[in-house]
A and B are shown apart, each in its own frame.
Chain A
């Protein structure tokens, strides 16, 4: 069939017409490009009249391809594709070329702009002639959802979906859900007790009929694609039978082995070798820490087994793999605290009374190791002065360049707690105090009123090397008071380091399993930083909470709910359409070299051992085209971006560069 191409050049008011002679471009295209049957310019092509014009031409002229020279396809590609669709032309036979952002707005010379516009139109026309009609695929959506991470963001997402009536599998690595929030004492700026607002949510999740809780479990493998993921979860052996255990806790009470609790208590307290991380844990089923349990290390003891009234302790339990089918996945894997030992000049790990923020949370917590008494490492002395160091590992190119977003407010909270519980003076060393959210600045004002001292200067070092008599036996915090332009040394009893937030150590690895990427800093990359903040580049995989970037509790909760809403929308619709821009392999000619297999980060290429050829799993392919470029046999085709189409585009875009080509065109 002969090509019948329509060219539509938009003025965009004077936005394009100001620096491109659009009438000339349209006239020239109509005359010089083979196969063009109509070529028009119009004031606003995206207006309903403009669209109507294209639709009419498609119907009246029987167009086989449409080229729109207007703004960026990122703005109006959908608009014009829909117009074509309405007129009965496959939307993938419409090609937009960017005359505004890429030509008229960046150029002030009309002759040069017009020349460049012609090249872009020519390229689009050459390309569109070779474009193929494509149909999006449709798949059904499994109504079950996997939520990875049982912190506050994951809990919120879980509850939203479960309450909507959809089944949810919640996977949590630790023995209990709750996340970091369960470790906190108070939450800023309202100073609600963290446990009081969190534990009801935890038990709701624990008891919800639509929620299957998989604690002490890890995400092992993800396959399949949006609507129909298959996931493998490894349930680590608890050595306690979940069905038999009643959570009475007598095993924990009687266990003779005490261990420093580096997880929940941040090293500030102890737990037993068989333990539940905290009293309100959900589920209340304990786990045995085999590295410390006397039975596992020395083959003696078995006290827990002897005292268990339901015979639930099972030393022979093994890790177990659970396979699940879900339609969508929400990643809410959270964060870890910056390792303060990486800044040796702050003395953490060397100077006893230097604390991390997480240690201090436990110190303040009424359920913590000191029952909430703020005392120094000796366990009894109340500090007379406390320094709080901001930006520990944050806003520092030597460590993490980003702002961790929550530390300023947490520092103010700590200041308040110290002032409330002790008679100590509190000094905050800051670069900038950042309190932009609701009621946050008011909280800062409150602390100013409570007498917290603010010294503007990044702390240079914390030392016990006294220079003056009053410094002996103290920790000296040395910094420049930048508002005075003077170096100051403040002797204090206790120092709290506001360590920054960091991605989980295995965030990248976990992300790769479900095909999502990380930013330079290691946070999961959302589909769009502003307009699509919970979706990812992989359809059916969403992100919520700090794993996407530092944020406070309200923001994490909002994101958890948002991710759930997106998932609920997909489930309610029941069907998902998949973009047809994917790769395909001509199996007849595939040599089976497998070069493409390892290139695909989405594991969308499988190898058929029998036929010795590679094959694209269409539903997994994201259409990046890397395999297409790499195939040595040239048998992989990237739909809508195949070699023929791109070669044609190159030919067209260089219409004026190649004297021979010009001759050819002129002869048409």
Chain B
């Protein structure tokens, strides 16, 4: 084997690159901050996306996975579209979300719970269920905000915009077989 091919060093950078399609562009980051400057949630982030990339480079895995950055992300893709180095930043944020959820590293955020409730509905019915999502997730996480939601929910309901029962797709077993296979493959 040729000597010039870099050996795997087992760094966090490598881990993130491997887990993100197009992630190899990460090494080209200029630290220009156009992601952090563009982010609509930038002001609420403990670390800007740019800072996270610097931290990934510095192998600061624990701090990255505990950061609130990912949970403030709204997937608007401004960072990705504006990045002068063609780094798929939003997708990298998704990778970090997955790692953080898988290892339960997140702190002070309900986003993972929302995601879980949402996907549970998809797994069970094949469709999302807004009412169930609103009630299930809010009852679980924030009963007070549920009260505040009251009038809005009622309005939605009277205008026929909210169903009380979820729709179920016909071939739910087929979808579940697909999902189970995906979970099985990604567990490897």
Are any A and B Cβ atoms less than 8 Å apart in their complex?
Answer: yes
Query: In residues 461-491 of chain A, which contact B (Cβ within 8 Å)?
Result: 461, 478-482, 485-487
Q: Are the CB atoms of A487 and B84 closer together than 8 Å? A: no
How near does chain A come to B106, taking the closest CB pair, in angstroms?
A: 20
Q: Are the CB atoms of A460 and B82 closer together than 8 Å? A: yes
- The 8 A CB mask of B2-17 against A (1 = contact, 0 = none) is 0000000000000000
The interface residues of chain A lying within 8 Å CB-to-CB of B33 are: 456-458, 479-482
Kindly name the residue among A457, A480, A481, A482 whose own CB sees the greatest number of chain B CB atoms within 10 A: A480
- The 8 A CB mask of B25-61 against A (1 = contact, 0 = none) is 0000011111111110011000110110000000000
How near does chain A come to B73, taking the closest CB pair, in angstroms?
A: 14
Flag whether A505 is at the interface (Cβ < 8 A): no
Given contacts A395-B30, A482-B36, 16 further A-B contacts (CB under 8 A): A391-B84, A395-B32, A396-B84, A398-B84, A398-B86, A431-B32, A458-B34, A460-B34, A460-B37, A460-B78, A478-B37, A482-B32, A482-B50, A485-B47, A485-B48, A485-B50
How near does chain A come to B85, taking the closest CB pair, in angstroms?
A: 6
Could you jot down 5 A-B contacts, CB within 8 Å? A398-B86, A457-B36, A480-B33, A485-B51, A487-B48
Cβ-neighbour of A485 out of B36, B78, B84 (below 8 A): B36
The interface residues of chain A lying within 8 Å CB-to-CB of B82 are: 345, 398, 460
Query: In residues 123-181 of chain A, which contact B (Cβ within 8 Å)?
Result: none
Q: Are the CB atoms of B84 and A395 closer together than 8 Å? A: yes
Query: In residues 53-86 of chain B, which contact A (Cβ within 8 Å)?
Result: 78, 82, 84-86
How near does chain A come to B105, taking the closest CB pair, in angstroms?
A: 20
How near does chain A come to B42, taking the closest CB pair, in angstroms?
A: 4
The interface residues of chain A lying within 8 Å CB-to-CB of B39 are: 487
- A interface with B by C-beta (< 8 Å): 345, 391, 395-398, 431, 456-461, 478-482, 485-487
Kindly name the residue among A395, A396, A460 whose own CB sees the greatest number of chain B CB atoms within 10 A: A460
Residue of B nearest to A481 (CB): B33
Residue of A nearest to B37 (CB): A460
In the assembled complex, the Cα of A59 lies from the Cα of B50 at a distance in Å of 71
Given contacts A480-B42, A482-B50, A487-B42, contact A397 B86 (CB under 8 A): yes
How near does chain B come to A233, taking the closest CB pair, in angstroms?
A: 41
How near does chain B come to A429, taking the closest CB pair, in angstroms?
A: 9
The interface residues of chain B lying within 8 Å CB-to-CB of A457 are: 32-34, 36-37
In the assembled complex, the Cα of A175 lies from the Cα of B34 at a distance in Å of 42
In the assembled complex, the Cα of A480 lies from the Cα of B34 at a distance in Å of 7
The interface residues of chain B lying within 8 Å CB-to-CB of A458 are: 32-34, 37, 84
In the assembled complex, the Cα of A196 lies from the Cα of B37 at a distance in Å of 42
Residue of B nearest to A478 (CB): B37
Q: Are the CB atoms of A480 and B50 closer together than 8 Å? A: yes
Residue of A nearest to B42 (CB): A487
Cβ-neighbour of B37 out of A396, A397, A480 (below 8 A): A480
In the assembled complex, the Cα of A18 lies from the Cα of B131 at a distance in Å of 78
Q: Are the CB atoms of B84 and A460 closer together than 8 Å? A: no
Residue of A nearest to B44 (CB): A487
The 9 closest A-B pairs by CB, nearest first: A480-B36, A460-B37, A480-B33, A487-B42, A396-B84, A458-B32, A457-B33, A460-B38, A479-B37
Residue of A nearest to B85 (CB): A397
In the assembled complex, the Cα of A345 lies from the Cα of B48 at a distance in Å of 20
In the assembled complex, the Cα of A486 lies from the Cα of B32 at a distance in Å of 13
Kindly name the residue among B30, B32, B38, B84 whose own CB sees the greatest number of chain A CB atoms within 10 A: B32
In the assembled complex, the Cα of A201 lies from the Cα of B157 at a distance in Å of 80
In the assembled complex, the Cα of A486 lies from the Cα of B31 at a distance in Å of 13
How near does chain B come to A467, taking the closest CB pair, in angstroms?
A: 10
In the assembled complex, the Cα of A478 lies from the Cα of B38 at a distance in Å of 7
How near does chain A come to B55, taking the closest CB pair, in angstroms?
A: 10
How near does chain B come to A240, taking the closest CB pair, in angstroms?
A: 47
Residue of A nearest to B86 (CB): A397
How near does chain B come to A434, taking the closest CB pair, in angstroms?
A: 13
In the assembled complex, the Cα of A482 lies from the Cα of B48 at a distance in Å of 9
Residue of A nearest to B47 (CB): A485
Cβ-neighbour of A482 out of B31, B43, B78, B85 (below 8 A): B31
The interface residues of chain A lying within 8 Å CB-to-CB of B38 are: 460-461, 478
In the assembled complex, the Cα of A459 lies from the Cα of B42 at a distance in Å of 14
Given contacts A431-B30, A482-B50, contact A487 B86 (CB under 8 A): no
In the assembled complex, the Cα of A485 lies from the Cα of B48 at a distance in Å of 6
The interface residues of chain A lying within 8 Å CB-to-CB of B48 are: 480, 485-487
Q: Are the CB atoms of A459 and B37 closer together than 8 Å? A: yes
